[in-house]
Amino acid sequence: MGFCPQCDSTEPLQEIVDTPTASITAPPVPLAAARAGNGRQRLETGINEFDRVLGGGLVSGSVVLLGGEPGVGKSTLTLQAMGSLASSGAGVLLAGSEESPQQVGLRAERLGLGTAEIDLLTSADVDQVVSVVAKNQPDVVVVDSIQTLSVPDIGGVTGGMSQIRECAARLVRVAKTTGTAVILVGHVTKDGGLAGPKALEHIVDVVLSLEGDPDRGLRALRSFKNRFGATHVVGMFDMQHTGLVEVLDPSKAFLAEWDMDVPGTIAFPAVEGARSVMVEIQALVTESPHTPPRRSVRGVEASRIHQILAVLTRHCSIDVSNKEVYVNVVGGWRLVEPGCDLPVALAIASSTLNRPLGSLAAWGEIGLAAEVRAVPLDLRRREEAKRVGIGTSIAAEQGSRLRLIDAMNRSGLTV
């Protein structure tokens, strides 16, 4: 192309010799002596939701990647964890050049951790961080952020793919040799492009993501990969003036502002890991001045919405072909289960017909023939609906048939 499509530089390309990330010199050992967990210690951060997502605390010598959009609260969460670790006597180091010591100091003040025994190392040079870790052997190092570190001896821009990868590889190496647990903070862009951090997923032990609705306080911490615990565990926090506070009953938090008498809203008992969380799904259908009409979706896959709209139009006399459709999962929650099809369809139908659904929860996957299929963990969802006091639940039961039009009839949306 004659220029770099990422940074527009017209400098000539430079060849980078990839250095092996670990030297393999150890002699063979019997499997029995090498069982996972042998010689490894769990270090509890003291923040229960964080520890739960980690599978019971930080494992010594492990590397955790914590991704999230700028401003979501990664620095806050890690500083709170460091404060609590330090107060229980662990040696903790905060390294990187994301923020100046003054900025970190201000945040610590705000979190009530002004006097916490945390060492700060403001450096953009990964080798300096590595040598401090090797020398001081702290229990935990937080690198905020991996994008602000660089290696002088290889090319590429700071924050670029090859730099991020090499920095992480050096930090992984020092974690394994010293037994220090390393948390790498990584920025993820708004459009979900994990670009840099994504390239690290295979070299780290644990991948966590902190997500949330920037307009609201609720934050979800999810595990996507965990060599020492279960994945898809979710921890919930509320961002308050004095930092992140654990949310013990997320269903109650989600439903606190639920106005069930407005058309287009319904509850959905989502299941994530070992936990059921009741979330509110909203839809708004209005006349459209645009051709084609606008479709805006937050928290559900857009492709599913298009399919649901097609099924509603073709099989249920809910014609939205020239209407704007907005679908939103309240609280910034992201739904990936097909079980959210039915509540989404009912919310859209409810808004189109301008009839509220009241105290209703629903779950089920919708097929192209407008059949509603059962989804796993029916009982758990039913119990969660009962626990939070929702009057009616509509779902396809295993082995029986439910048509979308019947589900609509049962929820009072007779066309």
Question: Closest approach of Cβ 111 to ligand TYD, in Å?
Answer: 6
Helix (H) or strand (E) run with residue 272 in it: strand 265-272
- Cβ pair 151, 163 in contact under 8 A: yes
Kindly report the number of other CB atoms within 10 A of residue 297's CB atom: 18
Alpha-carbon gap, residue 369 to 153, rounded angstroms: 60
Nearest distance in Å: CB 229, ligand TYD: 23
Among ligand TYD, Mg ion, none, the one that 71 touches (CB under a kind-dependent 5 to 8 A) is: ligand TYD
Residue 72 binding: pick among ligand TYD, Mg ion, none (C-beta 5-8 Å cut-off by kind): ligand TYD
Residues that bind ligand TYD (CB under 6 A): 68, 70-76, 107, 110-111, 239, 241-243
Sequence-distant (6+) residues with CB within 8 A of 109 are none
Per-residue CA distances from 92 to 79, 137, 161, 294, 371 (Å): 10, 9, 28, 50, 55
Minimum CB distance to ligand TYD smaller for 146 or for 395: 146
From the list Mg ion, ligand TYD, none, pick the one residue 241 interacts with, judged by a Cβ distance below 5 to 8 Å according to partner type.
Answer: ligand TYD
Q: Closer to ligand TYD at the Cβ: 185 or 308?
A: 185
In the complex, the smallest distance separating the C-beta of residue 144 from ligand TYD, rounded to whole angstroms, is: 7
Nearer to ligand TYD, 99 or 280 (CB): 99
Cβ-proximal residues to 375 (8 Å cutoff; 6+ apart), any chain? 337, 338, 339, 363, 364, 365, 395, 396
Helix (H, G, I), strand (E, B) or coil at 203: coil
In the complex, least distance from residue 44 CB atom to Mg ion, rounded to whole angstroms: 23
295 binds, among ligand TYD, Mg ion, none (CB under 5 to 8 A by kind): none
User: Closest by alpha carbon to 190, among 217, 212, 161?
Assistant: 212
- Reading the block at residue 109, the tokens are 């003040």
Least distance (Å) between residue 69 CB and ligand TYD: 7
Nearer to Mg ion, 68 or 364 (CB): 68
Residue in the shown chain whose Cβ atom is closest to Mg ion:
75
To the nearest whole angstrom, how small is the minimum distance from the Cβ of residue 123 to Mg ion? 16
What is the closest distance, in whole angstroms, from the C-beta atom of residue 112 to ligand TYD in the complex? Answer: 9
172, containing H or E segment: helix 161-178
Compute the distance between CA of residue 223 and CA of residue 325 in angstroms, rounded to an integer.
32
Residues sharing a CB contact under 8 Å with residue 382, sequence separation 6 or more, in sequence order: 269, 393, 395
For ligand TYD, the closer CB: 82 or 390 = 82
State yes or no: residue 97 binds Mg ion (CB under 5 A).
no
* 147 part of the interface to Mg ion, by CB under 5 A: no
Distances (CA, A) of 203 to 21, 93, 171, 198, 334: 9, 22, 10, 10, 26
Distance CA 251, CA 25 (A): 51
Query: For ligand TYD, which is the closer residue by CB, 71 or 155?
Result: 71
Task: Name which of 96 and 356 has its Cβ closer to ligand TYD.
Answer: 96
Going by the DSSP 8-state scheme, the letter that residue 44 receives in this structure is -
Minimum CB separation of residue 202 from ligand TYD in Å reads 23
Residues 56-75 that bind Mg ion (CB under 5 A): 75
Residue 332 site contact among Mg ion, ligand TYD, none (CB < 5 to 8 Å, cut-off depends on kind):
none
Q: Is 76 among the residues that bind Mg ion (CB under 5 A)?
A: no
242 interacts with, out of Mg ion, ligand TYD, none, CB within 5 to 8 A per kind = ligand TYD
**Which residues make up the interface to Mg ion (CB under 5 A)?**
75
